[in-house]
């Protein structure tokens, strides 16, 4: 079964090619259905491979499928190879599964869009790139996918490019990601020059075998982390993600919540052995960046009024949690949170898309309210997502967040407090969002009055095709926690499943205070979640105190402004200086050589008389002279 692994990326690629050639001809709903088939077929293949691997003993669960030799120059040999192991299959399962659901949702959401088939072309291309990223057997194949998802993300953020803000947001995402990609590239060069290979097995083998110097390992890990910061929207490169919400909502759900942004976490998990042999401060930096980002983004989310921006900052915050877990050596917890987060965040985004669809493309939560009766299924599923992300047991988010916090506690208690504060704020801002959208006074009438065009406008529930994915994802958000229940070793399915890949890198917490008192910590996390919810209810329903939404939080701590001013002021001057050097010194040297050649050619070109017979005479003379010279040499 594993030999069919190449089908997995092949289906979406085929789908993209068909969309490219015939998409417009196939037409509005049908091209969407066809495009949905591709990830669905991939999902079925991955599921079959998953079942196949599961039936095998743990040490036989890694299979490399060599497609062809990609690059063979000197000692650089890169194979186009994809790997099926527990980690890549886990990633592929949720990428294709959630991808298929979001394709299905998009059939309804994008209905009537003039670029309908092009949207599905990009979506299929994205799924293909993402699958190359997670299945890749070496850094270069992963990087191919890494750049592919970046390009698709750019195309999809600026999908409605006639809107200036969408075009700008696409460029912003692309440039912020380039900064990170530069780290990945240097890490690749470094890995090749020191280890001599780019394949994960080779790099990780070198790390395990002790041939990788700690200083190199640290450099590689931190450079890849720079890439991860770009892709997974961590400080200092997080700022593109909230703006990425300019794209259509299914894109936000698929790329900017469930799959692409988790690529950084995946990459760090892939090279876990390298992280294990690097200096101690490298994982610490990752954990601290994650923790600070988690809290930072959570504070911003408290004061946002755009329904999607709240979710965007929430995504940044949750990714911070994942990096906290990675930095604490809790890779299983990171993957666990990644999977459950994919479930509930995709659900929340699709739910918000359904709301936006229902209230006629209004995104401001101040103009919503009391939608629960008009959109019963959307609101019910959204409530499930809310409970899951807030960390209320027994929803999926509770188990995964608790697992992360448990390991963080064992690693560093200060970080644990940061994480707990972020969790509190998460519960608070999500409750705020639910109240503003689904409860309270209906404020959407004011909106219809303002615009005048649709006087008696009533929000409506979305078509059934958009509700099916919502219900399925809601089910997963409830049950996802079953992947890893922390009661006994037997219920920790994810832990056992991922063990062959990351067992030796995983830092064991057995025997620590945190492990012995995990039920206490679990109780504490639950209390914190409930306090957050209660506080939001007190503020936004009971109105005990006035809502605290300072402008500094609404403006995201002025981080964006600071970045743009730094780039526009000193940054622009530095770039201008570099441009001057390029124009006058680099280009000057090139132009100087060119001028020299042209001048000297002006002299010698007179020799070209254009008379064939002259040329023949010169050739003949030259031949005679040559023969004479050889004859003279052989004589003397």
Partner 1 sequence: MWYLLLSAFLFAIGTFGVLVRRNPLVMFMCIELMLNAVNLTFVTLGRQLGSISGQTIVFFVLVVAAAEVVVGLSIIVAIMRRRAGVNADDLAELKG
Binding site for partner 1 (CB under 8 A): 605-613, 616-617, 620
Residue closer to partner 1, measured from CB, 280 or 598 = 598
Minimum separation from the CB atom of position 617 to partner 1 (A): 5
Spatial neighbors of 118 by CB under 8 A, at least 6 apart, are: 19, 23
**CA 402 to CA 525: how far, in whole Å?**
7
Measured from the CB atom, is 583 or 619 closer to partner 1? 619
Please, what is the minimum distance in Å from the beta carbon of residue 624 to partner 1? Answer: 10
325 token code pair: 């877990």
Among 482, 506, 476, smallest CA distance to 328 is for 506
Least distance CB 618 / partner 1 (angstroms): 10
- Least distance to partner 1 from the beta carbon of 626, Å? 15
Instruction: Report d(CA 329, CA 347) in Å as an integer.
Output: 28
Nearer Cβ to partner 1 (189/630): 630
Gap between the Cα atoms of 407 and 419, Å rounded: 11
- Chain CA centroid to CA 205, Å: 27
Residue with smaller CB distance to partner 1, 59 or 608: 608
Under 8 Å between Cβ of 8 and 48: no
Taking a C-beta distance cutoff of 8 angstroms, is the pair 273, 318 a contact?
Answer: no
Residue 76's DSSP bridge partners are: 73
Closest CA to 248 of 106, 99, 365, 343: 106
- Output the furthest CA–CA distance in the chain (Å, rounded): 115
543 vs 606 by CB, closer to partner 1 = 606
Strands (E), 47-169: 63-73, 76-84
Residue closer to partner 1 (CB basis): 455 or 610: 610
Nearest residue (CB) to partner 1, 162 versus 608: 608
Q: In the complex, what is the shortest distance from the CB of residue 590 to partner 1, in angstroms, rounded to a whole number?
A: 25
d(CA 179, CA 173): 10
Shortest distance, CB of residue 593 to partner 1, whole angstroms?
A: 21
Alpha-carbon gap, residue 552 to 91, rounded angstroms:
37
Q: Is 540 helix (H, G, I), strand (E, B) or coil?
A: helix
For residue 633, the minimal CB distance to partner 1 (Å) is 21
Comparison of 576 and 609: residue with beta carbon closer to partner 1 = 609
Residue with tokens 């070198």: 206
Closest CB to partner 1 among residues 489, 612? 612
> How many angstroms separate the CA atoms of 379 and 381, rounded?
6
Could you tell me the smallest distance in angstroms from the CB atom of residue 591 to partner 1?
23
Which of residues 546 and 613 has its CB atom nearest to partner 1 in the complex?
613
CB of 602 to partner 1, least distance (A): 9
**Nearer to partner 1 (CB atom), residue 21 or residue 597:** 597
In the bound complex, what is the minimum distance in angstroms from residue 608's beta carbon to partner 1?
A: 3
**In 359-510, where does DSSP find H-type helix?**
376-390, 396-411, 413-438, 444-451, 464-479, 493-502
Handedness of CA 399, 404, 410, 413 (dihedral sign): negative
Q: Give whole-number Cα distances, 170 to 242, 264, 312, 561, in Å.
A: 11, 19, 15, 18
Contact yes or no for 315/261 (Cβ under 8 A): yes
The answer for residues whose C-beta is within 8 angstroms of residue 401's C-beta and 6 or more apart is: 321, 337, 391, 423, 525
Cα–Cα distance for residue pair 32/243, rounded to 1 Å: 26
- Write down the least CB distance from residue 592 to partner 1, Å: 23
Shortest distance, position 603 Cβ to partner 1, whole Å: 10
Q: Distance between alpha carbon 445 and the CA centroid of its chain, in Å?
A: 37
Q: How far is the CB of 611 from partner 1 (least distance, A)?
A: 6
């Amino acid at each position: 079964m594993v030999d069919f692994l190449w089908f997995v990326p092949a289906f979406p690629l085929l789908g993209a090619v068909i969309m490219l050639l015939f998409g417009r001809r196939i037409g509005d709903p049908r091209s969407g259905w066809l495009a949905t088939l591709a990830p669905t077929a991939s999902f079925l293949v991955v599921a079959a491979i998953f079942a196949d691997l599961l039936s095998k003993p743990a040490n036989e669960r890694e299979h490399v499928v060599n497609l062809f030799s990609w690059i063979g120059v000197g000692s650089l040999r890169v194979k186009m190879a994809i790997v099926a192991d527990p980690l890549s299959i886990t990633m592929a399962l949720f990428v294709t599964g959630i991808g298929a659901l979001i394709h299905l949702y998009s059939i309804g959401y994008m209905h009537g869009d003039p670029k309908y088939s092009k949207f599905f072309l990009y979506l299929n291309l994205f799924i293909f790139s993402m699958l190359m990223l997670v299945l890749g057997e070496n850094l270069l194949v992963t990087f191919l996918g890494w750049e592919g998802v970046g390009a698709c993300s750019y195309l999809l953020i600026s999908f409605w490019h006639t809107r200036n803000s969408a075009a700008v947001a696409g460029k912003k995402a692309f440039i912020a990601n380039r900064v990170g990609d530069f780290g990945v590239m240097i890490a690749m060069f470094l890995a090749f020059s020191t280890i001599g290979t780019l394949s994960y097995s080779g790099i990780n083998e070198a790390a395990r075998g002790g041939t990788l110097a700690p200083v190199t390992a640290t450099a590689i890990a931190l450079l890849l982390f720079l890439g991860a910061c770009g892709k997974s929207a961590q400080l200092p490169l997080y700022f593109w993600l909230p703006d990425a919400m300019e794209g259509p909502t299914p894109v936000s759900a698929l790329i900017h919540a469930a799959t692409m942004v988790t690529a950084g976490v995946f990459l760090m998990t892939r090279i876990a052995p390298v992280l294990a042999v690097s200096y101690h401060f490298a994982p610490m930096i990752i954990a601290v960046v994650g923790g600070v980002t988690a809290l930072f983004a959570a504070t911003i989310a408290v004061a946002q009024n755009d329904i999607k921006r709240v979710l965007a900052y929430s995504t940044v915050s949750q990714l911070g949690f994942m990096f906290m877990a990675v930095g604490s050596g809790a890779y299983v917890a990171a993957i666990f949170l990644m999977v459950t987060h994919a479930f509930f965040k995709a659900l929340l985004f699709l739910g918000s898309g359904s709301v936006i669809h229902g209230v006629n493309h209004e995104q401001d939560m101040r103009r919503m309210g009391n939608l629960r009766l008009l959109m019963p299924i959307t609101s019910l599923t959204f409530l499930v997502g809310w409970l899951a992300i807030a960390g209320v047991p027994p929803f999926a988010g509770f188990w995964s967040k608790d697992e992360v916090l448990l390991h963080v506690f064992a690693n560093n208690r200060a970080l644990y407090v940061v994480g707990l504060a972020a969790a509190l704020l998460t519960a608070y801002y999500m409750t705020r969002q639910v109240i503003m959208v689904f409860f309270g006074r209906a404020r959407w009438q004011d909106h219809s009055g303002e615009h005048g065009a649709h006087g008696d406008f009533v929000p409506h529930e979305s078509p059934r095709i958009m509700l099916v994915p919502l219900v399925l994802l809601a089910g997963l958000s409830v049950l996802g926690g079953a992947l890893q229940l922390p009661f006994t070793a037997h219920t920790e399915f994810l832990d056992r499943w991922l063990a062959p890949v990351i067992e030796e890198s995983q830092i064991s917490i057995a025997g620590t205070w945190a492990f012995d008192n995990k039920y206490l910590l679990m109780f504490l996390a639950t209390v914190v979640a409930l306090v957050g919810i209660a506080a939001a209810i007190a503020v936004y329903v009971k109105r005990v105190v006035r809502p605290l939404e300072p402008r500094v939080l609404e403006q995201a701590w002025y981080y964006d402004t600071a970045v743009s001013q730094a780039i526009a002021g000193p940054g622009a001057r530095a770039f201008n200086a570099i441009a001057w050097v390029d124009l006058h010194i680099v280009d000057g040297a090139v132009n100087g050589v060119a001028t020299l050649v042209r001048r000297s050619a002006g002299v010698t070109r007179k020799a070209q008389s254009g008379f064939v017979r002259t040329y023949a005479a010169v050739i003949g003379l030259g031949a005679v002279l040559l023969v004479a010279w050889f004859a003279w040499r052989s004589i003397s």
